[in-house]
Each structure stands twice: as structure tokens, then as C-alpha cells.
């Protein structure tokens, strides 16, 4: 084996090791944050499509014509909080509520927009305008089954299938303590405990 071949093999091994470290760092979220996006047009490694499909029309964007709809977020490890940032268009002043689907009377739904009274009356509605709004949820006491948590979107005042909302994309930020605050040992113990408890 000549030196040129040895160099190529070493280079390949280094690349493979770096790729493995990259994917492990994504799952372990050692920086304390895992961020990803979806347009709901297809399944991704971290977010499902909107379901049930008969309530959603998918073209260049997702159009929600009936409610409720829901989607699953797949979490590769334990996280403390999630921030959902929606880019959407609502031409009919719908009340849009989002929250974990926990199959209980006290689902922790939150309005996408801050509203004290609804519906708004006698106010002009901006047509064909996309908005970006974020909602934060505490994950520590929510049920996570098989490594995923389900969120639902509700439009409680939707009366007509022609007056739904468009969702252009969703950005998800999963947050936890970074490794330099928590420590390597504690971080890894929580990672393996998560897999043992959530995937069995």
C-alpha cells in the first residue's frame, strides 16, 4: 500500500468520524438547542404532516379548511421547552389556538395572537399578509410517547371551509440546558434515561 492510498483511507475515516459526531451532536443537542423547519408538505425526520389529511389541502402551502388538525414533533432526547414559530396567512380573523394534544378537558391551548376579546368586530382585515408569531410551551410535565409529542391547531370560530388559514412554514426550537451548564455525565444520563423511558 503506497502513501497516497493511506492518505485517502485516513481522510475517509476522518470524514466518517466527523459525520458521526455531527449526527450525534444533533441528537444530543449539547448546545441546548435543536432547531428545524417544515412546510407540512411531507414528513420530515422531526415533524409529521398535518393530520387528518381530509381537513388540509396541500399545494404550495398548507391550507386548513376544517378543525382540529394536528402534527407530531419527534424529539431525539429530553427537552424543557419548545417554541413554535408559525408563518401564516389569515384573511378572515380566525381565532387560532395551538397546544399539546393531551386528551383532557384542560388542554393547554394558547392563541397564536394575543387577544383579550374575540371575535374582533368592525376592524379592517389585512388581506394576503403573512404574519410570523411564536408560542412557547413547557415540556417538563407533558406526555411524550415513543419519543414524540402531538400538537393540535384549532379554529373554534371557523364556519366556512373557504375561510380557513394558510400555513407557509413552521420553525421549531427545542430548548434544554447546554452541556457546559449541566455537565457531561448528567447530560448523558438524561439522554439514555429518555430513550429507556420514552421508547420502550
Q: What is the mean pLDDT of the chain?
A: 83
pLDDT at residue 1 tops 70: no
Instruction: Give me the mean pLDDT over the 185-199 stretch.
Output: 83
pLDDT at 121: 47
Residue 105 has pLDDT above 70, yes or no: no
Enter the pTM of the model. Answer: 0.82
Confidence (pLDDT) at 167: 95
Question: Residue 57: pLDDT above 50?
Answer: yes
Torsion, CA 97, CA 100, CA 103, CA 109, rounded to 10? -30
Give me the mean pLDDT over the 80-92 stretch: 94
Is the model's pLDDT at 11 over the cut of 80? Answer: no
d(CA 97, CA 152): 8
Contact yes or no for 47/73 (Cβ under 8 A):
yes
Q: Does residue 126 register a pLDDT over 90?
A: no
CA nearest neighbour of 174 among 26, 49, 70, 69: 26
Specify the higher pLDDT residue, 6 or 72.
72
pLDDT confidence of residue 122: 46
Provide the greatest CA pair distance for the chain. Answer: 81
Give me the percent of the chain exceeding a pLDDT of 90.
46
Give residue 140's pLDDT: 87
What number of other Cβ atoms are within 10 A of residue 69's Cβ?
Answer: 24
Contact assessment for residue 30 and residue 179, using Cβ atoms and an 8 Å cutoff: yes
Amino acid at each position: 500500500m503506497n502513501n497516497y492510498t493511506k492518505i485517502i483511507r485516513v481522510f475517509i475515516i476522518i470524514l466518517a468520524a466527523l459525520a458521526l459526531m455531527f449526527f450525534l451532536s444533533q441528537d444530543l443537542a449539547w448546545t441546548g438547542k435543536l432547531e428545524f423547519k417544515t412546510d407540512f408538505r411531507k414528513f420530515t425526520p422531526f415533524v409529521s404532516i398535518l393530520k387528518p389529511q381530509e381537513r388540509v389541502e396541500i399545494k404550495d402551502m398548507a391550507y386548513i379548511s376544517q378543525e382540529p388538525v394536528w402534527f407530531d414533533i419527534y424529539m431525539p432526547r429530553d427537552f424543557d421547552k419548545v417554541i413554535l414559530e408559525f408563518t401564516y396567512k389569515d384573511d378572515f380573523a380566525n381565532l387560532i389556538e395551538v397546544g399539546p394534544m393531551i386528551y383532557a378537558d384542560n388542554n393547554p391551548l394558547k392563541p397564536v395572537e394575543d387577544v383579550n376579546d374575540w371575535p374582533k368586530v368592525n376592524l379592517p382585515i389585512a388581506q394576503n399578509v403573512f404574519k410570523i408569531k411564536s408560542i412557547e410551551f413547557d415540556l417538563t410535565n407533558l406526555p411524550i410517547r415513543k419519543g414524540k409529542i402531538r400538537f393540535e391547531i384549532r379554529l373554534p370560530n371557523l364556519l366556512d371551509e373557504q375561510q380557513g388559514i394558510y400555513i407557509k412554514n413552521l420553525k421549531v426550537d427545542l430548548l434544554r440546558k447546554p452541556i457546559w451548564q449541566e455537565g457531561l455525565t448528567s447530560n448523558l444520563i438524561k439522554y439514555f434515561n429518555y430513550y429507556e423511558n420514552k421508547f420502550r
